[in-house]
Amino acid sequence: MIFETGERTDWDIKHYLDSNYSFLNKSAWPMCDFARDFINQWAALFPADTEFIARVKSKDDNQHNAALFELLFYAVAVKHCLVISRNPAGSKKTPDFSITLNEKTTVLAECTLAASAMETIQDRRKIASVVQMIEDFRDCPYHISIEFLPVSKNS
């Protein structure tokens, strides 16, 4: 089981520095209940290992999202009655799945998420620090919307 069952009382928004997993795990929002139920149900049927579970629970959103995409891909394949297995023998974890269509046809599938190659780690850190300062405002009676536009290669 990926998420523990039980009542949740945190109705707060997802803060910028919260990981996706930690927000899903603590949130009382009904949509989060739906997501946790889906993930738990399919994770119970998924041939998961400790590496997969660690990626789902990761504080790194890229790892978390990639693991959930694999789980969703698996769920869709199973729902469409495809014969799917995870990590074909000798594959060293890639491609992610082998789908047997008939006696003579097997399809290999690699699940990948694309990210912005134009944004560097340093840029993401700068953005995170500004967003965190704004989120730390106490009792702010305004909605604050921000947009980051690069105007120079130097900060």
pLDDT for the residue 91 = 59
Whether the pLDDT of residue 27 is over 90: the answer is yes
Decide which of 118 and 58 is more confident: 58
For residue 155, being part of any structural domain is answered with: no
pLDDT band at residue 92 using 50, 70 and 90 as cut-offs: low
pLDDT band at residue 5 using 50, 70 and 90 as cut-offs: confident
d(CA 33, CA 142): 29
For residue 153, being part of any structural domain is answered with: no
Whether the pLDDT of residue 94 is over 80: the answer is no
How many structural domains does the chain have? Answer: 1
Whether the pLDDT of residue 126 is over 90: the answer is no
Average pLDDT, the chain: 85
d(CA 97, CA 27): 32
For residue 88, being part of any structural domain is answered with: yes
% residues pLDDT > 90 (the chain): 32
For residue 147, being part of any structural domain is answered with: no
Q: What is the mean pLDDT of residues 52-68?
A: 90
Tokens 């949740």 sit at which residue? 8
pLDDT for the residue 64 = 92
For residue 146, being part of any structural domain is answered with: no
Please give the full DSSP string across 32-86, using - where no structure is assigned. Answer: HHHHHHHHHHHHHHS---HHHHHHHT-SSHHHHHHHHHHHHHHHHHHHTT-EEEE
The one-letter amino acid at 54: A
Which of 11-25, 70-84, 120-134 has the least mean pLDDT?
120-134
Residue 42: both structure tokens together: 């399919």
For residue 76, being part of any structural domain is answered with: yes
Please give the full DSSP string across 89-118, using - where no structure is assigned. Answer: TTSTT-SSEEEEEETTEEEEE-------TT
Give the highest mean pLDDT range of 15-19, 21-25, 91-95.
21-25
Whether the pLDDT of residue 13 is over 90: the answer is no
- If you ran DSSP here, which 8-state letter would residue 27 be given? B
pLDDT digits (tens, 9 = 90+) for 29-56: 999 999 999 999 988 888 867 888 899 9
Structural domain containing residue 83 = 20-135
